[in-house]
Amino acid sequence: MLLPYLVGSLLLVGLPALLSAVLAFTSYDALSPPVFVGFTNFRLLAADPIVGTALLNTLFFIVLAVPLRVLGALGLALLLSRPRRGIGGYRAAVYLPTVIPDMAFALIWLWIFNPLFGPLNMVLGLFGLPGPGWLADADTARFPFVIMAAFQIGEGFVILLAALRGLSGEVFEAGAIDGAGRWAAFRYLTLPLLVPWLVLLTVRDVIVGLGWTFTPSYVMTGGDPYYATTFLPLLVYEEAFDRFRFGMGSALMLVMFLLSVALIGAIYLFFRRRGYVADV
């Protein structure tokens, strides 16, 4: 009964992951057989300034978007955890942007961030504020990606709602007996109990966030202006499917994988410093 699940996962996830680890050390155009080239791909990548730019762009996105998304989900879960009239509607509204298909989501924001006619700059105009060029300007082009990502936080929101539901009741009664104030109760009771969930969400968000940038960058900017929105997944796609260099693409993928390992290690250290690791 487990057969379809295990065989399918092996064929569609395990085998491809293994293959790309091997292909990273070859030159392969998907027509003639792959040729082993050792570390050549990595040397070429290290020498390519665009790869460095893409790496920094990706880091920029992750470092801003992941904390914003996790803290946003936490804040909204706290705000909307207690049952009351209309709560279903509020929660549904928060979740809805997460349901929008990626392609449509990218187009909607491309319109919102349109520097000339887009609704956002029109609203800024109402307040007499100058509208930035957003995606058209290399200095501001990365921010729309962070803002968009902060709107699709439904999954983290639901997970934290469930976690809060699990620990309400007893914990807060205990806190009330101790005479803990609202902030103290949050800081010393709720937050430590939520930490394992926050760690899980942060780790997952780093992994998901790395891939998430593909569709918006492919659809909204194509990596422009001046490579300001060229993120790693877009480069992987271009190497493999535009230039048919599957070896280079796989090597880049390996770089991305190492980046996520490094980031997750950093998250681990961050939480260990604060003495939360026992909970993790």
Calculate the alpha carbon distances from 62 to 14, 26, 35, 103 in Å. 26, 30, 35, 21
Cβ-based nearer residue to other proteins, 265 or 275: 265
Contact yes or no for 69/150 (Cβ under 8 A): yes
Q: Shortest gap between Cβ of 70 and other proteins (angstroms)?
A: 16
Report, in Å, the least distance between residue 163 CB and other proteins. Answer: 13
Distance CA 230, CA 222 (A): 7
Q: Which of residues 4 and 273 has its CB atom nearest to other proteins in the complex?
A: 4
Bridge partners of residue 27, in order along the sequence: 35
Shortest Å, Cβ 53 to other proteins: 18
**Least distance between other proteins and beta carbon 106 (Å):** 9
Cα–Cα–Cα angle for 16, 55, 205, rounded to 5 degrees: 65
Shortest gap between Cβ of 99 and other proteins (angstroms)?
A: 5
Of 22 and 269, which CB lies nearer to other proteins in the complex structure? 22
Residue 134's alpha-carbon distances to 73, 88, 141, in angstroms, are 25, 34, 5
Q: Which of 11, 184 has the CB closer to other proteins?
A: 11
What residues are paired with 210 via a beta bridge? none
**Minimum CB distance to other proteins smaller for 120 or for 275:** 120
What six digits make up the tokens of 77?
């879960």
For the four alpha carbons of 66, 69, 72 and 74, in that order, the dihedral sign comes to: negative
Helix axes 15-23, 246-273, angle to 10 degrees: 110
Residue number, 79 or 269, with CB nearest to other proteins: 79
- Nearest approach in angstroms of CB 191 to other proteins is 19
